[in-house]
Structure 1
Amino acid sequence: MPAFTDIMSDAFDYFRAYALRALCKARAMPRGRIKHLQLVVGRIYNLLKKEAAYAPNTQQLQDFRAAQQLEAALDRRRDDGSAPERGFAAARPGAEREAR
């Protein structure tokens, strides 16, 4: 009788590796929108892993490519520093002076 690991599909293993890497990357990030989106990417990979455990299909590849594009966009945005993490923005000009 073959071991369980012998009958696992390659797609399952790849999606598992991507999910693990994405979630570890998110854990290392500071709080903010980028961290939240990185966690979402990890969850997408995890869902793809679960689907691949049953039967691989071509829709998974489309979802996988979309998740990779999102993750690449997050990496570019984080490396460029184009959107600094500032916390909450004032609701209207001068509102921050009222709170002091």
Structure 2
Amino acid sequence: MPPVSSRTETFTMGVEEEYQIIQPGTYELSSSSSALLPTAQRALGEKVQPELQLSQLEAATPVCRSLQEVRAALVHIRGELVAAAARQGKYLA
């Protein structure tokens, strides 16, 4: 059987996620991305960006070469974002 592909370059991937900022107690969206963003960017740099909605943030992994790298990057990003939100008295979803 011939090879499926003769390409030799390395396969890479990345993940972008959008997070909703939630007000504890009411679980309503909180338009506080501008307050949360500086704290999140201190920990994650340009991996976290604002979204169009003020109740949203976007985070992106770096270019990864394996699923293990993707998982490690997502665990790190999510942990830092949850901690940054908690410091502002917010939840993320």
TM range (shorter): 0.3 to 0.5
**Greater percentage in strand:** 2
Write 1 or 2 for the structure with the bigger share of helix: 1
With a CA cutoff of 8 Å and minimum separation of 6, indicate the structure with the bigger relative contact order.
2
TM-score, normalising length: structure 1: 0.38
Larger radius of gyration: 1
